[in-house]
Amino acid sequence: MRGFRAISNVAARKLLVTCRPPTVRAATTPPAAAVFARRTLLAGTLTTLSLSTPALAKSDGAWAKHSGAFVDADFEDMTTAPSGLQYRVVEEGYGVKPQQGQKIKAHYAGYLLNGKKFDASYDRGSPLPFAVGAGQVIKGWDEALLDMKVGEKRLLKIPANLAYGARGAGGVIPPDATLVFYVELVTLAA
């Protein structure tokens, strides 16, 4: 949310600067009407900008907690993409979908099928920023997040070929591991 407010304030200041009356060279106090007009313009601009940008609810990740090994019932009613990626929309998004290469921020919690959590941005309190669809994350993430709307939450079951494959990752993710992610598309960057 801070990013939206900072952008809104900068945009409001730029608008205020471009709408100022011509500068008077003499050292005089600006007329009260001009000061009032600028303040009214600024207040109206900030109100409009804050109303046009939906507030992002701060997510604590409670929806992304899991205990114990995953069982088949956890993956019922999932949609399977042609690539083999499986997903279930947990909460519909309200925004637009990102474009390939666009910077986004996503919150996540990642698990192995045995239920062991290997990483979670929720635990750090900060979503992961990256350019989606640019190969900066695993293929399953790029595919899923390019199809999500801002604010959307999904449960993903990612086969090894769309994750870390036969190499695994850093001794934490074994070779040929299917991964389970709770993913939330938090925001898009311009």
CA-CA-CA-CA torsion for 94, 95, 98, 99, nearest 10 degrees? 130
Among candidate residues 104, 164, 173, 182, the one labeled active-site is: 164
DSSP annotation of 132 reads T
What is the Cα–Cα distance from 104 to 150, expressed in whole angstroms? 9
Among candidate residues 87, 111, 122, 181, the one labeled active-site is: 181
Residue with tokens 């011509």: 22
Beta bridge partners of 105: 129, 187
118 carries an active-site annotation: yes
Among candidate residues 87, 104, 108, 158, the one labeled active-site is: 108
Among candidate residues 138, 158, 173, 182, the one labeled active-site is: 138
108 carries an active-site annotation: yes
138 carries an active-site annotation: yes
Q: Are 81 and 96 in contact (CB under 8 A)?
A: no
Q: Are 16 and 44 in contact (CB under 8 A)?
A: no
182 carries an active-site annotation: no
Among candidate residues 4, 70, 119, 130, the one labeled active-site is: 119
Number of residues written out for the chain: 190
Q: How many helices (H) and strands (E) does the chain have?
A: 4, 7
164 carries an active-site annotation: yes
147 carries an active-site annotation: no
Among candidate residues 74, 118, 130, 147, the one labeled active-site is: 118
Residues marked as catalytic:
108, 118-119, 138, 164, 181
